């Protein structure tokens, strides 16, 4: 905890969407903890529905392309100019930026391209020494992992997660409502990256290799995190829950009498013991993503058969889990036969399901695939006509806009 005084250099950190989601943003928590550990700095978090920007150093984290529009709203609400001649220095990072910073180059002074744990302390050191905007930008342009529009794009990563401090302090508002889906919980990142290489996924374009925290370090983080934040619930942050010590992690949580939830899972990593451990932790539903029918799934480099999925669904239901399924439409080379097989899969599974338009992302294997609105509308119409179970369909208008922004060269 810090006592406010005028000598502290303030940094405003912004999650450009609603606060009930932003409070759980790991990226924002990492920045928040790094800055507040510096004796001469103080960081405040801001959101679309709760912002009052007063500092001259303002950072945005972009997890979703559609949040670009909220960036403009927030600057307007705070009377901050879009023109870079403004006094404020605005920087940005996050997965959207690492994939394609061009849409915001006209408005952002510099981008953090890579993992902030390594870069941010260097930025703060230089900012403390010189807050003259022109001089500051010139000095930080030499840091690997800083991209200033017009300069060379560089990316930096950290090799060993254990060597960098974890964001242990994760404060929530005194009053939270049902919109805070994780309740009063502690966010636990056990790994960064993914060992799988699905052709549509952007994770490998950012993290070429998966990095695991050590079991010893994870246990320390759990023990300290729940104590500091006074909670008995842990939310595990992981793209695929592939940690080689995943069972030991869950056993430690159970031993500490902590509830926990895990992310979308890979069924090829699941067995009876792991399912039983998950159930002991209080989780009652599991999310899996078959993506499509078997033929297209294999083309996407996801080599799990329909039979494997049905065996897992049967086993998980017997253990009392509810299953949520995720699928996509608009996948390259989709035929009527593929759609018929997808319909058969969903009808047979008898699980909660949602279907989203496939959004090709930069730097992925399928980056050049076009988002064909007409074709996707036809596929959705065909599925709705033949599906016998209730399925949730994502808004295609938003998906197309996500695609357009992901590949945009400039925003006006």
Going by pLDDT thresholds of 50, 70 and 90, the confidence category of residue 127 is very high
Mean per-residue pLDDT, 20-36 = 97
Residue 210: per-residue pLDDT: 94
Asked whether residue 1 carries a pLDDT value surpassing 70, the answer given is no
C-alpha 406: how far from its chain's center?
15
Q: Residue 356's closest CA among 319, 400, 314, 390? A: 400
pLDDT exceeds 70 at position 2 = no
Confidence of residue 146 (pLDDT cuts 50, 70, 90): very high
- In this structure, what is the dihedral angle of CA atoms 396, 401, 404, 406, given to the nearest 10 degrees? -100
Confidence of residue 131 (pLDDT cuts 50, 70, 90): confident
106 CB neighbour count, 10 Å cutoff: 13
Q: For residues 158 and 118, what is the distance between their CA atoms, to the nearest angstrom?
A: 7
Angle at 46 between CA 44 and CA 51, to 5 degrees: 115
Dmax over CA atoms of the chain, in Å, equals: 67
Phi and psi of 152, rounded to 5°?
-75, 135
Instruction: Output the CA torsion sign for 362, 368, 369, 371.
Output: positive
CB atoms closer than 10 angstroms to residue 161: 19
Three-state SS sequence of the chain: CCCCCCCCEEEEEEECCCHHHHCCCHHHHHHHHHHHHCCCEEEEEEECCECCCCCCEEEEECCCHHHHHHHHHHHHHCCCCCCCCCCCEEEEECHHHHHCCHHHCCCCCEEECECHHHHHHHHHHHHHHCCCHHHHHHHHCCCCCEECCCCCCCCECCCCHHHCCCCCCCCCCCCCCCCCCCCCCEEEECEECCCCCCCCCCHHHHCCCCEECCHHHHHHHHHHHHHHHCCCEEEEECCCCCCCCHHHHHHHHHHCCCEEECCCCCHHHCCHHHHHHHHHCCCCEEEEEEECCHHHHHHCCCCCCHHHHHHHHHHHHHCCCEEEEEEEECCCCCCHHHHHHHHHHHHHHCCEEEEEECCCCCCCCCCCCCCCHHHHHHHHHHHHHHCCCCEEECCHHHHHHHHHHHHCCCCC
Report pLDDT digits (tens) over 206-246: 888 999 999 999 999 999 999 999 999 999 999 999 999 99
368-377 long-range CB contacts below 8 Å, 24 or more apart? 369/332, 371/330, 371/399, 371/400, 371/403, 371/404, 372/330, 373/400, 375/330, 375/334, 376/329, 376/330
pLDDT for 7 equals 86
Percent of the chain clearing pLDDT 70 (strictly above): 99
- Over residues 249-301, the pLDDT tens digits come to 999 999 999 999 998 899 999 999 999 999 999 999 999 999 999 999 999 99
Q: Which domains does the chain have, with CATH numbers?
A: 9-147 (3.40.50), 182-283 (3.30.750.210), 286-412 (3.30.750.200)
Report pLDDT for 18: 97
Q: Which residue has the tokens 């966010």?
A: 187
Output the pLDDT for position 410. 84
SS (H, E, C) 22-89: HCCCHHHHHHHHHHHHCCCEEEEEEECCECCCCCCEEEEECCCHHHHHHHHHHHHHCCCCCCCCCCCE
Place of tokens 């869950």: 250
pLDDT at 4: 67
What is the pLDDT at residue 6? 77
Residue with tokens 């005084």: 5
pLDDT tens per residue across span 382-398: 999 999 988 999 999 99
pTM equals 0.94
Mean pLDDT of 147-174: 94
**Residue 25 and residue 48: Cα distance in Å, rounded?**
14
pLDDT digits (tens, 9 = 90+) for 326-368: 999 999 999 999 999 999 999 999 999 999 999 999 999 999 9
pLDDT score at 162:
97
Burial of 261 (0-12, 13-18, 19+ CB in 10 A): middle
Residue with tokens 């060992």: 195
Angle between helix axes 373-386 and 336-349 (nearest 10 degrees) is: 40
Average pLDDT in the 177-205 region? 94
């Amino acid at each position: 905890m810090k006592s406010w005084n005028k000598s502290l250099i303030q940094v405003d950190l912004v999650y450009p969407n609603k606060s009930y989601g932003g409070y759980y943003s790991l990226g924002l928590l990492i920045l928040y903890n790094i800055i507040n550990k510096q004796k001469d700095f103080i960081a405040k978090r801001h959101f679309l529905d709760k912002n009052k920007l007063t500092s001259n150093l303002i950072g945005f984290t972009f997890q979703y392309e559609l949040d670009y529009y909220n960036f403009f709203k927030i600057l307007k609400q705070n009377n901050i100019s879009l023109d870079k001649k403004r006094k404020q220095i605005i920087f940005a990072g996050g997965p959207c930026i690492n994939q394609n910073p061009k849409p915001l180059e006209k408005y952002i002074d510099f981008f953090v391209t890579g993992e902030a744990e390594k870069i941010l302390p260097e930025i703060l050191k230089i900012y403390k020494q010189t807050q003259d905007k022109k001089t500051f930008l010139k000095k930080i342009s030499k840091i690997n992992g800083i991209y200033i529009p017009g300069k060379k794009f560089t990316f930096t990563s950290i090799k060993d997660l254990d060597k960098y401090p974890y964001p242990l302090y994760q404060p929530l508002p005194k009053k939270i409502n049902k919109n805070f889906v994780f309740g009063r919980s502690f966010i636990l990142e056990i790994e960064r990256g993914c060992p799988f290489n699905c052709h549509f996924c952007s994770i490998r374009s950012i993290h070429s290799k998966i990095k695991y925290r050590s079991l010893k370090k994870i246990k320390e983080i759990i023990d300290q995190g729940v104590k500091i934040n006074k909670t008995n619930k842990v939310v595990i942050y992981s793209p695929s829950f592939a940690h080689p010590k995943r069972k030991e992690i869950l056993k430690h949580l159970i031993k500490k009498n902590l509830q926990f939830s895990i992310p979308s899972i890979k069924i090829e990593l699941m067995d009876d013991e792991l399912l039983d451990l998950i159930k002991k932790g209080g989780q009652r539903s599991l999310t899996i993503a078959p993506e499509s029918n078997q033929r297209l799934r294999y083309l996407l480099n996801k080599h799990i058969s329909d039979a494997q999925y049905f065996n897992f669904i049967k086993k998980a239901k017997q253990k009392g889990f509810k299953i949520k399924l995720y699928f996509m439409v608009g996948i390259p080379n989709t035929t009527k036969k593929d759609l018929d097989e997808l319909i058969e899969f969903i009808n047979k599974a008898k699980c909660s399901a949602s279907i989203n338009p496939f959004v090709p992302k930069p730097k992925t294997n399928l980056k050049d695939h076009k988002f064909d609105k007409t074709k996707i509308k036809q596929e959705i119409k065909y599925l709705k006509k033949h599906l016998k179970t209730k399925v949730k369909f994502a808004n295609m208008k938003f998906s197309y806009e996500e695609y357009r922004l992901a590949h945009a060269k400039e925003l006006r």
